[in-house]
Amino acid sequence: MNASWARQGITVAGSDGHGNDADQLDNPLGLFVDGDQMIFIAEQWNHRILQWKLGDTNGRIAAGGHGKGKRLNQLDQPTDVLIDKETDNLIICDQGNHRVVRWSRRSLTTKGEILLDDINCYGLALDDHRCLYISDEIKHEVRRYHIGNKNGTIVAGGHGEGDGLNQLNQPSYLFVDRQQAVYVSDTNNHRVMKWNKGAKEVILNISVNAQWAQKGSTVAGGYGNGRATNQLNTPMGLCIDEDQTMVIADFWNHRIVQWKLGDKDGLILADGRHNGNRSDQLYWPTNVLIEKESDSLIICDPGNQRVLRWSRLTSPAQRESLVENIDCWGLALDDQGYLYVSDEIKHEVRRYHIGNKNGTIVAGGHGEGDGLNQLNRPRYLFVDRQQAVYVSDTDNHRVMKWNKNAKEGIIVAGGQGKGQELSQLTYPRGLFIDALGTIYVTDCLNHRVMRWPNGATQGSIIVGGNGRGGDANQLNCPEGLFFDHHGHLYVADSSNHRVQHFSIE
């Protein structure tokens, strides 16, 4: 962690300006260094791979070098190179020819062979199992290949050009770690992304020192409580899709509202006329999330003691009941598609296979109480990549973490009785946990949002905390919260009947 390097570098390859002589380079891009300190350099404009022994003044052509072209002894604007140590071959991203080629390092080799074609490759990586990873800067994706098999599996991106957490914009170079997590230089998004093995999108990684604007802007509601399309009445849970569209559980209006960022009015997606128990009606909805696989809304409908799924693809929406006879409040989905639901009357959280109405208890389930194996009116949920369940244990004024298959939980925020000290919470609600394990929680009756670093005994206020009120720097019993892929914070400011946006600074 404390390593340092010399502040002045020394030139080890190319020192005589750009050109195509043996001591020159012309736009070197990717490089690889083997165990013998031999440097292999992808020279874009010389259409060759140059091999350079550390300490030598001249390099030697290892691949290409016959001018720009598509013959097997030629390259066209190569961008990256690596060595497959098992076969002692060079693997080259031959970008201008839309192919990946392999060249033996044996001295008599005069041409390569095509591993993959019809790919707009840029970066390459090999993992410990000799799977090959290739970035495609036009399809905005990274694929993993078994060498010899031309059908790859998308492991990053693949949802078109964009800056969403499941998108890339001209990915270039790659690195793959021992756990097969893929690191991508997401060039035109000006960021580096980490995609864990099997991940559908990236977990947001927020700096522990990040700060947000202290004055929020109203992005939904804000015109008093009411039923008009520019109003909300006690918003609860919310989520935001890849198009920056908010989906809000509008509690006392018995409806789900979709609100495009920048619009003055929302679009009613579910009911909005009056409470009821038909499949097209809701009764006190508390939470909503988007199931991306089916492009459906999953809605917690506690007044009807059920969890519903409403398709966003059909009009009228196809509707079905997923779970019944449950006093639900909070919802979460994990990477495997399991649904987690909190029951505030049974004081437990259950995990469900969608389509199976018999769930498994994963938190609580030992009646109301403040023991480590108990909960007291659990509300909002968050589930991480390891299937650990975080619960806002509301009436115990704490946040609990239940590791997968645990018999009891761990207090990770609060738990010091209700109060307004930095070590306390008072009826915590909405939750978000970032890639570092930092907990973000709305502290309802302290009218603030708090950040608790992993392992901390007290938190810090990131927004609010200026007393109960409706000014831009105030909140009034905040409920749900959500971070977009830029790290901007959205808060359902329930008793102000609005959603507030706080920009990351």
Structural domain spans, the chain: 28-196, 228-438
Mean pLDDT for the stretch of residues 347-356: 94
| pLDDT of the residue at 272 | 55
Supply 210's token pair: 């990040």
Distance between CA atoms of residues 226 and 264, nearest Å: 14
| pLDDT of the residue at 274 | 66
228-438 and 28-196 share a CATH fold: yes
Q: Mind listing the pLDDT tens digit for each residue in 292-343?
A: 878 899 999 999 999 999 988 777 778 899 999 999 999 999 988 899 999 9
Question: What's the pTM?
Answer: 0.72
| pLDDT of the residue at 101 | 96
**Residues near 9 by Cβ (< 8 Å), separated by ≥ 6?**
none
- Asked if residues 22 and 60 have their Cβ atoms less than 8 Å apart, the reply is yes
Q: Say if residue 256's pLDDT is above 90.
A: yes
| pLDDT of the residue at 271 | 64
DSSP 100-139: EEEEE-STT----EEEEES--EEEEEE-TT-EEEEEETTT
Mean pLDDT for the stretch of residues 174-196: 94
CATH number for the domain formed by residue range(s) 228-438: 2.120.10.30
Q: Say if residue 370's pLDDT is above 80.
A: yes
CB atoms within 10 A of CB 458: 14
Q: Mind listing the pLDDT tens digit for each residue in 430-456?
A: 999 998 899 999 999 999 999 999 999
Give 410: exposed, middle or buried? Use CB within 10 Å, 0-12, 13-18, 19+: middle
CB atoms within 10 A of CB 310: 22
| pLDDT of the residue at 164 | 84
**CATH fold label, 28-196:** Neuraminidase (2.120.10)
Q: Say if residue 216's pLDDT is above 90.
A: yes
Q: Say if residue 420's pLDDT is above 70.
A: yes
Distance between CA atoms of residues 452 and 399, nearest Å: 10
Alpha-carbon radius of gyration of the chain: 27
| pLDDT of the residue at 295 | 84
Least confident among 191-195, 242-246, 311-315, 361-365: 311-315
Q: Say if residue 404's pLDDT is above 80.
A: yes
**Residues near 268 by Cβ (< 8 Å), separated by ≥ 6?**
229, 255, 256, 257, 258
| pLDDT of the residue at 23 | 86
Q: Mind listing the pLDDT tens digit for each residue in 26-64?
A: 999 999 999 888 999 999 999 999 999 988 889 999 999
* 217-221 vs 191-195, strand pairing mode: unpaired
Q: Mind listing the pLDDT tens digit for each residue in 228-253?
A: 999 999 999 999 987 789 999 999 99
| pLDDT of the residue at 222 | 95
Q: Say if residue 152's pLDDT is above 90.
A: no
